[in-house]
A and B are shown apart, each in its own frame.
Chain A
């Protein structure tokens, strides 16, 4: 059974870079049928998609975050990561990693496996 687990610092200072890793166990991140993404939920707000990556190295980003975000794969360690630069208090959130199912080329079923989430607070 596939399991995802987020890891990284729980506290980041303003203007610094937030770095999180999602470790995938029970399956390979190079599987053709799956994409790998990051989603966050700020306190008191709804879900916000951050970005998604695929085994080819192609990545897609939320336009509102695109200038600050990088999502990438580490195939050797079966992990994928999120880097968000120049953080402010507005980036405080619970961050989730998730697997997205590709039904076919450019057709997707949604995110069927999620990590438990990790809280990141931006504060000095």
Chain B
């Protein structure tokens, strides 16, 4: 089974700033990785699929990169609505697995 290790667990940044979240897979998954945003009281929202492809309607300040075992999610020019939680998920094989999550907080 594939384990996903996400870091950091929390990060502080300012409005207008930039954050990068990393996700490592325990074995190679190609580019079969998705990133989600989850706001309190809401369902997760797909941001990035296939490691770097932006889901329709997602602002271009979100970007993803990586392949194999190392992936990143970068949020540039942070907006107030971006301060929430983010998760990676491998879509390479069953059983599926999520990273532990990263909370982006306002500095």
Contacts and interface: CB of A to CB of B under 8 A. Distances in A.
A100 B100 contact: no
A46 B98 contact: yes
Given A47-B38, A115-B43, A101 B49 contact: yes
Interface residues of A, number: 28
B62 interface: no
B98 A116 contact: no
Interface of A: 37, 39, 41, 46-49, 52, 60-63, 96, 98, 100-101, 103, 106-112, 114-117
Contacts of B91: 100, 107-110
A49 B44 contact: no
Contact of A103 (B42, B43, B50, B94): B50
Nearest to A100: B91
A63 to B, nearest CB: 6
Contact of A110 (B49, B97, B100, B101): B49
**A-B pairs, 3 with minimum CB distance:** A110-B34, A60-B94, A114-B43
Interface in B68-100: 87, 89, 91-100
Nearest to A51: B95
B55 interface: yes
Given A107-B32, A112-B46, A63 B1 contact: yes
A111 B97 contact: no
Contact of A111 (B44, B53, B100): B44
- Among B1, B43, B99, the one with the most A-chain Cβ atoms within 10 Å of its Cβ is B43
Contacts of B38: 41, 47
Nearest to B53: A109
Nearest to B93: A106
Given A47-B101, A109-B49, A109-B50, A96 B95 contact: no
